[in-house]
Amino acid sequence: MGVWAAWKVLTEHPRLLVAPSVVFAITMGVAWLVRRVLLGSLRAWNRRNRSRPGLILAEALRGPTIIWVLILAAHLAIQSSELPAAVRDIWGPNISMALWAVSLTLMSMRVAGDIVRHYGGQIPGALPVTTLTQNLTQLAVLILGILLTLGAFGLKITPILTALGVGGLAVALALQDTLSNLFAGFYIAVAGQIRVSDYIKLSTGEEGYVTDITWQSTAVRGLTNNLVIIPNSKLSQAIVTNFSLPEKRMGASLQVGVSYGADLEQIEHILLETALLGAQEIPGMLAEPAPSVSFDPGFCESSLSFTVGYQVAEFANQYGVRHHLRKRIYKRFQEEGIELPFPTRTVYLYGPQSVKPDGGKTDP
């Protein structure tokens, strides 16, 4: 019996829908309560045991269980109705199969995305875990689910793929910028030169920690806690300095100036001793490789300048380390009586009977 024939039967005999509707409503109510109890128990168990697989399962079941409730209610309603056998035997299985396919596809998409998010970073050589990689994984599962569903209903996939290929050409021309960002984001994720949590700086001046890479843009959080959104196509074309590669550890330096009358050996000893002690106590400052002191840039306009070189755990640590190191050096200089220089000028005034620099007198 076709769709229109079945519709004609239902319009001519609306009473046939009364009993199925009642069965459908009762089944939905009971199944909904059972669903809430089961999911609530699973969430409580996850909170007690802090189980990550249990959390993934609970999130994956939340959506599909609604469809399973619909499948059960629809099946019981159809089977308990007085509809013609042709309607029950054709519509019932087809509706159930379609709903099952949709629910399993949704659940598989959720499970695949959660697995990538929670466990993707633990797989050696895997792509970085970003929103883009999660979306690509879920898209692959969705396409597979659609193909399997169409095949189960006996629909030929080849004509559909052909139509999609022709239509995709027009869509590609209309969405050039969007597709450019998509493929640029995929390249960024695959190349591994920019990863989530890396500190980067672009040639255009934007800098910060990479928080996410999506199909359209890359989000960067600056040290001022502002979020900078960079289109993937722009990021792939920019000159980028990654301060987290090849490792997060990086070198930093601090210049210290003293007066020209200071003892160079003493200053070098004090600076090195202060830096070594700071490496043990200042958060973010590394003891290995050990700090160093060099007489560079050396002879400056108003001071003898030294450079203290040291290593920090990551880019953002250099500011706090420099702050604490400066305070320690200043305190130590005060204890040792070392004079800190400041810009000075010696002015010679020439006039009648004025004293020359060599002690003589000028002519009137």
Domain boundaries, the chain: 3-154, 156-246, 250-336
- pLDDT number for residue 309: 92
- pLDDT number for residue 163: 63
- pLDDT number for residue 323: 93
* pLDDT over 80 (residue 348): no
Who contacts 64 (Cβ-Cβ below 8 Å, separation ≥6)? Answer: 103, 104, 106, 107
* 257's tokens: 């100036």
- Answer yes or no: pTM beyond 0.75: no
d(CA 48, CA 44): 6
Helix (H) / strand (E) containing 309: strand 304-312
The proportion of the chain whose per-residue pLDDT surpasses 90, expressed as a percent, equals: 17
- Looking at CATH, the fold of the domain delimited by 156-246 is given as SH3 type barrels. (2.30.30)
Rounded to whole angstroms, what are the CA distances from 50 to 46, 85, 193?
A: 5, 50, 34
Place of tokens 């399973």: 68
On whether the CB atoms of residues 131 and 187 are closer than 8 A, the answer is no
- What would the pLDDT profile of 62-85 be if each residue is shown by its tens digit? 777 777 777 777 777 777 766 666
- What would the pLDDT profile of 74-133 be if each residue is shown by its tens digit? 777 777 766 666 555 655 566 667 777 777 777 777 777 777 766 665 555 555 666 777
Least confident segment among 60-74, 236-250, 281-295, 331-345: 60-74
Tell me if the domain spanning 250-336 has CATH number 3.30.300.30: no
- What would the pLDDT profile of 139-164 be if each residue is shown by its tens digit? 888 877 777 777 666 666 666 666 66
d(CA 192, CA 137): 18
Who contacts 16 (Cβ-Cβ below 8 Å, separation ≥6)? Answer: 9, 10, 81, 82, 83
- pLDDT number for residue 7: 53
Least confident segment among 64-68, 180-184, 314-318: 64-68
**Number of CB atoms found within 10 A of residue 60's CB:** 20
Of 132, 140, 139, 135, give the one whose Cα is nearest residue 217: 132
- pLDDT number for residue 86: 57
- pLDDT number for residue 127: 56
- pLDDT number for residue 6: 54
| Domain 156-246 matches domain 250-336 at the CATH topology level | no
DSSP string for residues in 251-305:
EEEEEEEE-TTS-HHHHHHHHHHHHHHHHHHSTTEESSSPPEEEEEEEE-SSSEE
* pLDDT over 90 (residue 308): yes
- pLDDT number for residue 2: 46
- pLDDT number for residue 215: 79
- pLDDT number for residue 171: 59
